[in-house]
């Protein structure tokens, strides 16, 4: 399910008790910059005073633009419904918008602002302009030449643009930043803000381009990582890798892969995964009941085409091929806040694990439903279930199962040390399995899918060794009610030595997993290289 791809390049694992305690600690809610009350007083003229009572908001940024008052609070806004000002004071307030930590109010008539604030209150005096006569002399506008004042004004405009971005006014924010960059094309702060606006508005290609222009002037590691993250999530890439696996008592494998992702057009994304496995298997029960081993090669190709059919919906078409049989599949994904729900099916998907299917061209038909949440405060949660039918060449219905998967993961600090901890469930329960009789009269199952219910608790830590080199490590304890249990570890050395390249050296051991059914675990070491475009 999708949960297997959430998080760092290597999914890192940890201890149950620490994960449980620290996970509970991570639930503590942050303080909010609450507006506890709002009121307006008027002296009978169009002049009026507005008072916002505040809580937990010592450092706010206040800006004005014509009739608009923009407040960017130091923390997220609370639950007070400030929109009631529109109905209560229609002669003074025209519109009110709020989002996260931003408040925007448009006054109902032209005037001038006078603003004062402290920890507990924000006071706004709004005065109608004095009437003018034809003989009045217009004030002379003195051009601003002071560099410090110009920098301060540019900074104010950037803050306003970010505030409008929080309110979803992407076009207005883009217009403000575009004007700044027209006059100061080397403004890193403005270009960073524009990149964020483009990304938040869904235009990730332009966001990556703007970050690239920042990097050409200032090779800031944080900006490099931001651009890399965008490309990893959305961009095109080509990669290759190799991994050695020692799957306990079952076999050893050397897996070579080539993969890639590219846009055919704006709404069509094509992904490809090609693998070759060199397998050296110990003797096992074959389809005819004979007990013998296998040494040889197995190949598998998977193609996926994602089609964006609306802002909330994606259709994925899948195609599979082995030396022996093709397969197809499809999935519908819908953005249902706060996560993504999906329902999909596969027919003759290539399937080989540590059962005899690993060398006998196993296939799986399945119907699956999943729901994944990636929250803004670093919580990742997912659950999924599927019904499955397994077969081998010449017999498509040798076993039927029900599968249940779930995960939860959190990132937090322990004494200023950033760690991540999580829990994973990987369970599969056979519903029916075919029994046959060999020539010697003994009974056997041509495809024996083992029952499992793996509970895994993990904790890990990312260590930044250099600007472009990260060591991600973790430990885990996993317990299978029907099989093996014990400690494991995982690690990855992730290098971004050039802006568009990523090299990962991964290693680890698992006591049990869905890829080591019937074995005592798996130990692996591998390397992969990707180039993003």
CATH value at residue 123 = 2.60.40.3470
Bridging pattern class, strands 417-433 and 395-414: antiparallel
Q: What is the pLDDT of residue 20?
A: 33
* DSSP-H helix ranges across 167-282: 170-183, 188-200, 204-217, 221-234
Q: Given 205, 232, 259, which residue is the final one in a domain?
A: 232
Angle, alpha carbons 404-410-411 (nearest 5°):
150
114 part of a folded domain: yes
184 near 175, Cβ under 8 Å? no
1 part of a folded domain: no
Q: What is the pLDDT of residue 377?
A: 56
Q: Given 176, 199, 232, which residue is the final one in a domain?
A: 232
CA distances (Å), origin 292, targets 284, 295, 399: 5, 10, 22
Per DSSP, 516 falls in state S
Indicate whether 253 and 345 sit together in one domain: yes
Q: What is the pLDDT of residue 503?
A: 93
Indicate whether 357 and 419 sit together in one domain: yes
b vs e for 83-96, b when ≥16 Cβ sit within 10 Å of the residue's Cβ? eebbeebeebbeeb
Indicate whether 119 and 166 sit together in one domain: no
Q: Given 173, 205, 232, which residue is the final one in a domain?
A: 232
Alpha-carbon radius of gyration of the chain: 30
Q: What is the pLDDT of residue 196?
A: 86
Three-state DSSP at 244 gives strand
* Torsion, CA 82, CA 83, CA 87, CA 91, rounded to 10: 80
Indicate whether 208 and 305 sit together in one domain: no
489 part of a folded domain: yes
Q: What is the pLDDT of residue 474?
A: 95
Indicate whether 116 and 190 sit together in one domain: no
The CATH number of whichever domain residue 226 belongs to comes to 1.25.40.10
Indicate whether 228 and 258 sit together in one domain: no
d(CA 268, CA 385): 27
Q: What is the pLDDT of residue 57?
A: 66
Q: What is the pLDDT of residue 301?
A: 96
Indicate whether 299 and 435 sit together in one domain: yes
Low-confidence ranges of the chain (pLDDT < 70): 1-33, 43-45, 56-58, 131-145, 219, 249-250, 352-359, 374-378, 497-499, 512-520
Indicate whether 122 and 172 sit together in one domain: no
What does the DSSP assignment read for 46-113? S-EEEEEEEES----EEEEETTEEEEE-SS-B-S--TTHHHHH-TTTEEEEEEETTEEEEEESS--EE
9 part of a folded domain: no
437 near 446, Cβ under 8 Å? no
The CATH number of whichever domain residue 259 belongs to comes to 2.40.160.40
In 3D space, the residue among 75, 74, 76, 85 whose CA is nearest the CA of residue 52 turns out to be 85
pLDDT digits (tens, 9 = 90+) for 188-232: 888 888 888 888 887 777 887 788 788 777 767 777 777 777 777
340 near 333, Cβ under 8 Å? yes
Indicate whether 415 and 274 sit together in one domain: yes
Per DSSP, 172 falls in state H
369 part of a folded domain: yes
Q: What is the pLDDT of residue 134?
A: 52
Bridge partners, residue 485, by sequence? 479
d(CA 53, CA 118): 10
Domain count, the chain: 3
pLDDT digits (tens, 9 = 90+) for 478-503: 998 988 888 999 999 988 766 678 89
Indicate whether 214 and 256 sit together in one domain: no
Domain span at residue 192 reads 147-232
Indicate whether 222 and 247 sit together in one domain: no
Indicate whether 486 and 369 sit together in one domain: yes
């Amino acid at each position: 399910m999708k949960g297997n791809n959430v998080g760092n390049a290597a999914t890192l694992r940890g201890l149950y008790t620490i994960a449980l305690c620290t996970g509970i600690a991570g639930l503590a809610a942050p303080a909010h910059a609450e507006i506890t009350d709002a009121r307006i007083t008027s002296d009978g003229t169009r002049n009026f005073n507005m008072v916002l009572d505040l809580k937990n908001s010592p450092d706010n940024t206040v800006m004005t633009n014509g009739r608009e008052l923009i407040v960017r609070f130091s923390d997220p806004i609370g639950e007070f419904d400030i929109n009631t000002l529109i109905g209560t004071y229609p002669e003074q307030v025209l519109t009110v918008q709020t989002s996260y930590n931003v408040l925007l109010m448009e006054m109902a008539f032209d005037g001038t602002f006078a603003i004062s604030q402290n920890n507990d209150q924000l006071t706004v005096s709004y005065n109608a302009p004095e009437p003018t006569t034809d003989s009045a002399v217009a004030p002379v506008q003195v051009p601003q030449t002071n560099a410090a004042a110009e920098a301060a004004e540019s900074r104010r405009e950037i803050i306003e643009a970010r505030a409008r971005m929080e309110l979803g006014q992407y076009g207005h924010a883009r217009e403000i930043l575009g004007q700044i960059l027209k006059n100061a094309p080397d403004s890193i702060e403005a270009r960073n803000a524009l990149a964020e606006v483009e990304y938040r508005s869904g235009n990730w290609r332009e966001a990556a381009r703007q970050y690239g222009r920042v990097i050409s002037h200032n090779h800031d590691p944080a900006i490099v990582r931001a651009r890399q993250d965008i490309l990893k999530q959305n961009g095109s890439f080509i990669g290759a890798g190799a991994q050695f696996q020692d799957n306990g008592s079952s076999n050893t494998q050397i897996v070579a892969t080539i993969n890639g992702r590219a846009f055919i057009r704006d709404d069509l994304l094509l992904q490809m995964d090609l693998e070759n496995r060199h397998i050296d298997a110990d003797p096992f029960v074959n389809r005819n009941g004979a007990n013998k081993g296998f040494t040889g090669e197995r190949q598998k190709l998977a193609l996926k085409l994602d089609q964006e059919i609306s802002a909330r919906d994606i259709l994925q078409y899948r195609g599979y091929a082995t030396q022996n049989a093709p397969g197809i599949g499809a999935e519908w994904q819908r953005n249902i806040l706060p996560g993504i729900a999906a329902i999909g099916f596969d027919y003759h998907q290539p399937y080989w694990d540590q059962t005899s299917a690993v060398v006998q061209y196993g296939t799986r038909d399945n119907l699956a439903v999943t729901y994944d949440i990636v929250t803004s405060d670093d919580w990742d949660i997912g659950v999924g279930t599927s019904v499955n039918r397994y077969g081998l060449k010449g017999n498509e219905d040798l076993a039927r199962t029900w599968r249940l998967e779930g995960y939860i993961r959190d990132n937090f600090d322990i004494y200023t040390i950033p760690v991540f901890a999580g829990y994973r469930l990987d369970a599969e329960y056979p519903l029916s399995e075919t029994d046959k009789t060999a020539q010697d009269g003994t009974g056997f199952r041509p495809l024996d899918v083992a029952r499992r219910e793996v509970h895994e608790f993990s904790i890990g830590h990312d260590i930044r060794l250099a600007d472009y080199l990260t060591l991600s490590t973790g430990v885990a304890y996993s317990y299978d009610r029907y099989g093996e249990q014990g400690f494991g570890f995982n690690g990855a050395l992730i290098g971004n030595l050039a802006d568009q390249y990523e090299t990962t050296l991964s290693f680890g051991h698992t006591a049990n997993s869905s890829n080591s059914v019937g074995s005592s675990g798996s130990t692996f070491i591998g390397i992969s290289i990707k180039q993003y475009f």
